[in-house]
Chains A and B, each alone.
Chain A
Amino acid sequence: MIRMNDVRFGYHDTPVLEDVNIEIHKGEFVAVSGQNGAAKTTLLKLALGLLKPWDGNVVQERRGQRGKLKISYVPQQVASFNSGFPSKVLELVQSGRAAGRSWLSLSRPRAADRAAAEQALRKLGMWELRARRIGELSGGQKQRVCIARALVQEPDLLVLDEPTTGMDADSRRVFYELMREQVREGRTVVMVTHALEEAAPYLDRTIELVRREGDTWKCCSTTLCSGHFMPAG
């Protein structure tokens, strides 16, 4: 699904990632871990095509199916950057359905969009708050709304950067179970997390960023968790 071959990347003149060779397969739940500053978010952005590698390449492919890989991304604390956004929870999640459609806004939201938004919000325990403005929610609640927004896009690949930040224990458990459900439905989930021990029972694999020299990090020692995929590299 995503292959990173001999990827090297840095900011300005300083390399931060070297020798990145990983492969993420269809239908697995993978966690990316590492110390603070280990370039975990950078790794995700390279995989998503938001950053271009200095060397090597990143391949996104949808094996056996036509069309581009459909990806949903939930950046770190995405909603906290835009607390004044004048949208209610349901409107924001429902708009996620339209994200991958035509650029031109000629069609009106469909009944199926609302149904999908309702389902995602119910799964994340946020349906009761559908009429609240996004800025009126706590950090953990905003995070759950953004995850619901990513889910309604029905992506092939779901990429989340520290998605459980600000969530309470119950919400985190619901989140991990929901991600397993996504994987059972054939989706691939990649997330950055610091809570590896807590997430381990739900994961298929972890990718760890280890220090190479100075501030340069190397990917990766991969560890097989409860899943069935062989570690790459």
Chain B
Amino acid sequence: MLQYDFMQRAFYAGGLIALMAPILGVYLMLRRQALMADMLSHVSLAGIAAGAVLGMNPTLTGFATAVLGALAVEFVRRGYRSYSEVSVAIIMIGGLSTAVVLMSLNPAINKGFSAYLFGSIVAVNQTQLTLMVITTVLGGLFFGLLRRPLYEMTFNEETARVSGVPVQWLSLGFSVVTGMIVASAMPIVGVLLVSSLIVLPAALAIRLAGSFAAALVLAVVFGLTGVLSGLSASYYLDTPPGGTIALLLLAMLGAGILLRKIGLKLTRSRNKQPAADEPASSTAGTTARYANSNVIGGQQE
């Protein structure tokens, strides 16, 4: 499989995106912007259509449009602070409707669009690979060097601002990086499934991780596993890479949630056993020790 150039490019590109997309997903989910990736991919489609109609490189126009769309959503979000999902809907409608109208102007370009919609291993060309390398380097620097203020902003924007974090600039930078990652991921998983690569590994990692750093690492591990095994399966089974990767990630999420539930049940039943055998004095001591701590049993949320 790896003797083919296009497969090598797909694995390089997939590996790079699987490093960045899940990290972005953790932040997007915690900022309640999980739909942003989906929205930006639709906006990017308008850029690709515009590029095709105007005779420009669709990859570059799609990339630029995704970044501009991310900036637009940041500004609209500030206007609709209480209903941030409204900003996502507004920009998504704008992007998709523009794409549909532009595509109707030149029916010949419709054919090549299935690669963008559903993802294709052969769709990854040298320009896209170069853009992915640039995105990975810039994204890595952004998430690595600004990890501390990003953590502050993600926990609470107001407390972060009061502590001196330049939240507006950081949020703007975050939006630009989001646009870049979404546009880079599109050739692999396609417009319709781009959010799967961003949201699913993050969703599982957030559930399982015991710390913020662990959530980031786990998300990358799940992302890499899903993308690399999905690309291989797609090659051997002759299935679309986007759908195969998304299905594998969904299966991982389902299995992870199930295993966690089983693990929690086992822990609870194990904890129940010795408690029943404990002498009364010991239980009373524990109660007294926690009386001032308002300890609750198990999980509330």
Q: A84-B301, A95-B152 are in contact. Are A75 and B158 (CB under 8 A)?
A: yes
**Hey, which chain A residues are within 8 Å of B210, CB to CB?**
86, 88, 133
A72-110 near B? 1/0 per residue, CB < 8 Å = 111100100111111110011001001111011110000
CB <8 Å contact, A91 and B293: no
CB <8 Å contact, B212 and A153: no
CB <8 Å contact, B145 and A128: no
Q: A50-B162, A72-B162, A81-B156 are in contact. Are A135 and B292 (CB under 8 A)?
A: no
**Hey, which chain B residues are within 8 Å of A73, CB to CB?**
158-159, 162-163
A55 within 8 A of B: no
CB <8 Å contact, B151 and A95: yes
Q: A73-B158, A137-B296, A140-B294 are in contact. Are A86 and B209 (CB under 8 A)?
A: yes
Shortest Cβ distance from B173 into chain A, in angstroms? 11
**Chain B residue at minimal CB-CB distance from A84:** B206
CB <8 Å contact, A105 and B144: yes
* Complex Cα gap A74–B160 (Å): 11
CB <8 Å contact, B144 and A91: no
CB <8 Å contact, A82 and B159: no
**Which of chain B's residues 26-55 have a Cβ closer than 8 Å to chain A?**
26, 29-30
| Contact with B300, one of A78, A82, A91, A136 (Cβ below 8 angstroms) | A136
| Contact with A126, one of B26, B30, B293 (Cβ below 8 angstroms) | B293
**Hey, which chain B residues are within 8 Å of A75, CB to CB?**
156, 158-159
* Complex Cα gap A113–B181 (Å): 34
Shortest Cβ distance from B268 into chain A, in angstroms? 13
**Hey, which chain B residues are within 8 Å of A128, CB to CB?**
289-290, 293, 295
**Chain B residue at minimal CB-CB distance from A106:** B145
* Complex Cα gap A125–B292 (Å): 7
**Hey, which chain B residues are within 8 Å of A87, CB to CB?**
155, 211-212
**Which of chain A's residues 98-152 have a Cβ closer than 8 Å to chain B?**
98-101, 103-106, 125-126, 128-129, 133, 135-138, 140-141
B146 within 8 A of A: yes
Q: A86-B209, A88-B210 are in contact. Are A99 and B160 (CB under 8 A)?
A: yes
Q: Between A and B, how many residue pairs show CB distances below 8 Å?
A: 120
Q: A86-B206, A135-B301, A137-B296 are in contact. Are A103 and B166 (CB under 8 A)?
A: yes
**Chain B residue at minimal CB-CB distance from A68:** B164
**Hey, which chain A residues are within 8 Å of B299, CB to CB?**
135-136
B148 within 8 A of A: yes
**Chain B residue at minimal CB-CB distance from A101:** B148
* Complex Cα gap A162–B211 (Å): 28
**Hey, which chain A residues are within 8 Å of B296, CB to CB?**
137-138, 141
CB <8 Å contact, A85 and B155: yes
**Hey, which chain A residues are within 8 Å of B145, CB to CB?**
104-106
**Chain A residue at minimal CB-CB distance from B289:** A128
B165 within 8 A of A: yes
* Complex Cα gap A104–B148 (Å): 7
* Complex Cα gap A72–B152 (Å): 13
* Complex Cα gap A28–B152 (Å): 28
Shortest Cβ distance from A184 into chain B, in angstroms? 22
* Complex Cα gap A32–B154 (Å): 28
**Hey, which chain A residues are within 8 Å of B162, CB to CB?**
48-50, 71-73, 159
A185 within 8 A of B: no
A216 within 8 A of B: no
**Hey, which chain A residues are within 8 Å of B137, CB to CB?**
none
**Chain A residue at minimal CB-CB distance from B202:** A86
* Complex Cα gap A40–B289 (Å): 37
**Chain A residue at minimal CB-CB distance from B299:** A136
CB <8 Å contact, A50 and B146: no
* Complex Cα gap A45–B291 (Å): 35
Chain A interface residues toward B at CB < 8 A: 45, 48-50, 68, 71-75, 78, 81-88, 91-92, 95, 98-101, 103-106, 125-126, 128-129, 133, 135-138, 140-141, 153, 159, 167-168, 170-171, 174
A-B contact pairs, 7 of them (CB 8 A): A73-B162, A73-B163, A82-B30, A99-B164, A133-B210, A138-B294, A168-B294
Given contacts A85-B30, A138-B300, 10 further A-B contacts (CB under 8 A): A45-B158, A49-B162, A72-B163, A84-B301, A95-B152, A95-B155, A105-B144, A105-B145, A126-B293, A167-B294
Shortest Cβ-Cβ A-B pairs, 5 listed: A105-B148, A99-B163, A73-B162, A105-B147, A86-B215
